[in-house]
Amino acid sequence: MKPHRHANNKTESGSQPCEISFDRSDEKKLLINLAGSWTLKCKRPSADVVKKEITAGGATGIAFNTTGITEWDSGLLIFLGRVIGLFLKNGITVDKTGLPNGAGKLMDLAAAVPEKKGARKKSQKESFLFRVGSESVAFVRSSGDVLTFVGEASTAFIKFLTGKARFRRSDLTRIIQDCGIEALPIVSLISLLVGLILAFVGAVQLTMFGAEIYVANLVGIAMVRVMAAVMTGIIMAGRTGAAFAAQLGTMQVNEEIDAFKTMGISPMEFLVLPRILGLTLMMPLLCLYADLMGILGGFIVGVGMLDLNMVEYYNQTKAAVPLSNLWIGLFQSIVFGILIAVAGCLRGMQCGRSASAVGDATTSAVVTGIISIIVATAVITVITNVLGI
Amino acid sequence: MSQKTPAITTKNLEIAYGDFVIQRDLNFTVNRGEIFVLMGGSGCGKTTVMRCLTGLKAPEKGQVFLGNISLWEAEQATRDQMAHNIGIVYQSGALWSSMTLAENVGLPLGEFYDLTPQEIRELSSLKLALVGLSGFEDYYPSEISGGMRKRAGVARALALDPQFLFFDEPSAGLDPVTSSLLDDLILELRDSLGTTMVLVTHELPSIFSVADNCVYLDGDTHTMIAGGDPKRLKTDCDDPKVHAFLTRGGKNRTG
Ligand SMILES: Nc1ncnc2c1ncn2[C@@H]1O[C@H](COP(=O)(O)OP(=O)(O)O)[C@@H](O)[C@H]1O
Ligand SMILES: [Mg+2]
């Protein structure tokens, strides 16, 4: 029988540490005595100890005596791997007979390398009516799921605040880049055009009263207070929200999410949290950028078409837009960031196990994202009105 | 394995999706260090039963004991602890596609042990070498063949030195030679690690070459209708369905 390898079952957590000693009674062969607990949990000696011993003694071979080992796992294998790797290069013979039965076999198995091939595929379909029916039923059921998801996401966020959330920082950086810098071109284009359109529409009316200069007010306030936030929100819902749903949905299909769960790694922390954080951090920056681009659009119309003076237009905009509007706009964009990311991740995590389910999840994420943006805008507008801001 | 210790036991297990019962009245025992096969036709619920044994899908009724702890009655903390003892090789491999093979194997190690990146790297290489994939550490799952992905899945399942190893259709999508090599790997890992293994499969050659024990799940009656050593079942079992299954439809073909 092998030693009790899997003694990592709590009771033995205080077991004795691993010990190493050397027996040089045989000139040629260094006998390495290993004893105690050789697991990943314990602090293991480095292979250099053995190297020093062998350079000092001048032995040409090593052997092991492991009768004193009480438990072992990959911790022993990593040590053996290093020792064996160290000496095979120098032509020193390694005698594996003294190793625990399984460990010796594993080291041999690791050294034998074969090489082969294989392949596979899958897909599925359902009737339209069946889909409509099941979607409706699912919609009613899903409200509960939404609450659970939001609860879990909040828990993960609290863990993040206390520094206990587990995720790869590199994932967060990649997501920030993905939904920040890489969204700039489309945000620029859309907000510039929205600014132009607002200015055009306004100019037609305002010239009738000879009040062209108020185009600056119209564009400035509209962009800064709502339009920039709403437009970036809608762009990001279509761009990033959809991407989140597709990414997580695909991981669901490939059982990757299951694999996280069974390894005790929370997909909520590992996958959802960095996405929500990344988008929520980037949204206000994009919104600020969209503010500027929108005002630039108005400026182009004002100066180019209405023959307004540049400085005058600039001063008019500055005077017309109170700082509080900027804060309201930025606040909205943060709210939208959270809503879009939550909608995207929620739909992705709810995704079924077929390829077409990923498509449904993506569509659903965009729809949910845009609807929640519009509803949130309405709510925020009413609240600010009531508060008189 | 002289004396037998039960490692996994099910008691009156019933599993359903909504009102649709997949399997009911499942009572079987997997002994420590044994290779146990869940077999049956496609769609009879093998994967679903496996998901229930590994803590991914709650049963409607009954219990699953891993060792002497009831999986579905244990507290979340205990269940998380047990999760480290369970390694699963998924039907599709389920490797995390955005990570290299070494990162796939190394991630759980880094999460649960206090190891240096260097140690994690060495351990990942070692586990990959165990399944014959040394040199492929920096490949992404999309860059290797299906058989290699399966084996990489085995390496990842072995990452935390689990006591229980589950395989969902390990040979699905593999040619006979590759799949027999995978069977050899399963046997070698069992012999050297002493891990308890549960295989979901309907590949007869696999069943006969690796299984110590098995149960046959029937998709029509939604329960297990036979169990024991598959070689003995082949000759002794008089249930026509089981016999037909084990002899590829053979002599007693019904309907
Ligand atoms: N998510 C699900 N919802 C409802 N039914 C499901 C689901 N997954 C699988 N099933 C049904 O459960 C049965 C068993 O599936 P599965 O365990 O995958 O079979 P096997 O692995 O034996 O081929 C099948 O009839 C399948 O239609
Ligand atoms: Mg299956």
* Beta-bridge partners for B164: B86, B196
Distance from Cα B43 to the centre of ligand 1, integer Å: 6
Residues A234 and A356 in one domain: yes
Residue A54 token pair:
């062998």
Q: Would you state the pLDDT for residue A119?
A: 29
Q: What is the mean pLDDT of residues B167-194?
A: 86
Q: Which residue has the tokens 């997997």?
A: B30
**What are the structural domain ranges in chain B?**
1-85+163-248, 94-161
Q: A67 burial class (0-12, 13-18, 19+ CB within 10 angstroms)?
A: exposed
Note whether residue A315 is domain-resident.
Answer: yes
Residues A352 and A222 in one domain: yes
Confidence of residue B250 (pLDDT cuts 50, 70, 90): low
* Listed residues A61, A84, A112: the one ending a domain: A112
Closest ligand (CA of B48): 1
Note whether residue A38 is domain-resident.
Answer: yes
This prediction's pTM: 0.71
Note whether residue A81 is domain-resident.
Answer: yes
Residue B29 token pair:
């025992």
Does the beta carbon of B127 sit less than 6 angstroms from any atom of ligand 1? no
Count Cα atoms within 13 angstroms, Cβ side, for A204.
5
The CA-to-CA distance between both ends of chain A, in Å, stands at 78
Q: What is the mean pLDDT of residues B21-34?
A: 93
In this structure, the strands spanning B223-228 and B213-218 are antiparallel
pLDDT digits (tens, 9 = 90+) for A277-336: 999 999 999 999 999 999 999 999 999 988 999 999 999 999 999 999 999 999 999 999
CB pairs under 8 A between A and B: 137
- Give yes or no for residue A159 having a pLDDT over 80: yes
* Total number of residues shown for chain B: 255
Does the beta carbon of B56 sit less than 6 angstroms from any atom of ligand 1? no
Question: Using N-to-C axis directions, what is the helix angle for A215-222 and A184-207, rounded to 10°?
Answer: 140
Q: Would you state the pLDDT for residue A80?
A: 86
Closest CA to B108 of B86, B93, B129, B91: B86
Q: What is the mean pLDDT of residues B72-88?
A: 89
Q: Would you state the pLDDT for residue A124?
A: 54
Residues A310 and A205 in one domain: yes
H helix and E strand count, chain A: 15, 4
Q: Would you state the pLDDT for residue A314?
A: 93
Q: Name the residue at shortest CA distance from atom 25 of ligand 1.
A: B43
Residues A204 and A298 in one domain: yes
Q: Would you state the pLDDT for residue B251?
A: 53
In whole angstroms, what is the distance from residue B134 CA to residue B131 CA? 8
Tally of domains in chain A = 2
Note whether residue A138 is domain-resident.
Answer: no
Residues A90 and A164 in one domain: no
* Beta-bridge partners for B66: B8, B69
- Structural domain boundaries enclosing A312: 151-387
Q: Name the residue at shortest CA distance from atom 27 of ligand 1.
A: B43
Query: Any CB–CB contact under 8 A between A141 and chain B?
Result: no
Closest CA to B107 of B91, B89, B88, B123: B123
- Nearest CB to A264: which of B54, B80, B178? B80
**Is the Cα dihedral B159, B165, B170, B176 positive or negative?**
positive
**Can you give the CATH number for the domain in which A84 is found?**
3.30.750.24
Does the beta carbon of B48 sit less than 6 angstroms from any atom of ligand 1? yes
Residues A98 and A235 in one domain: no
* Listed residues A56, A82, A112: the one ending a domain: A112
Confidence of residue A115 (pLDDT cuts 50, 70, 90): very low
Q: Could you tell me what percent of chain B has a pLDDT over 90?
A: 42
Contact B29, B3 (CB under 8 A): no
pLDDT digits (tens, 9 = 90+) for B200-226: 988 888 899 999 999 999 988 999 988
Residues A85 and A179 in one domain: no
Residues A238 and A160 in one domain: yes
pLDDT digits (tens, 9 = 90+) for A22-34: 888 877 788 888 8
Confidence of residue A5 (pLDDT cuts 50, 70, 90): very low
* Listed residues A87, A112, A137: the one ending a domain: A112
Residue A27 token pair:
């000139």
- Give yes or no for residue A388 having a pLDDT over 70: yes
Q: Judge if ipTM > 0.85.
A: no
- Give yes or no for residue B179 having a pLDDT over 80: yes
* Architecture per CATH, B1-85+163-248: 3-Layer(aba) Sandwich (3.40)
Q: A160 burial class (0-12, 13-18, 19+ CB within 10 angstroms)?
A: middle
Distance from Cα A87 to the centre of ligand 2, integer Å: 46
Record: contact A259-B181, CB cut-off 8 A: no
Does the beta carbon of B17 sit less than 6 angstroms from any atom of ligand 1? yes
* Beta-bridge partners for A296: none
Note whether residue A369 is domain-resident.
Answer: yes
CA distance B140 to chain A (A): 14
Interfacial B residues in 163-202 facing A (CB < 8 Å): 163, 172-175, 177-178, 181, 188-189, 191-194
Confidence of residue A15 (pLDDT cuts 50, 70, 90): low
3-state secondary structure of B17: strand
Does the beta carbon of B46 sit less than 6 angstroms from any atom of ligand 1? yes
- Give yes or no for residue A136 having a pLDDT over 90: no
Does the beta carbon of B144 sit less than 6 angstroms from any atom of ligand 1? no
Q: Name the residue at shortest CA distance from atom 8 of ligand 1.
A: B48
Q: Would you state the pLDDT for residue B64?
A: 94
Note whether residue A366 is domain-resident.
Answer: yes
Confidence of residue A138 (pLDDT cuts 50, 70, 90): confident
> Which residues lie near ion ligand 2 (Cβ < 5 Å)?
B 47
Note whether residue A219 is domain-resident.
Answer: yes
Q: Would you state the pLDDT for residue B249?
A: 73
Distance from Cα B46 to the centre of ligand 2, integer Å: 6
Residues A225 and A352 in one domain: yes
Closest ligand (CA of B44): 1
Residues A241 and A299 in one domain: yes
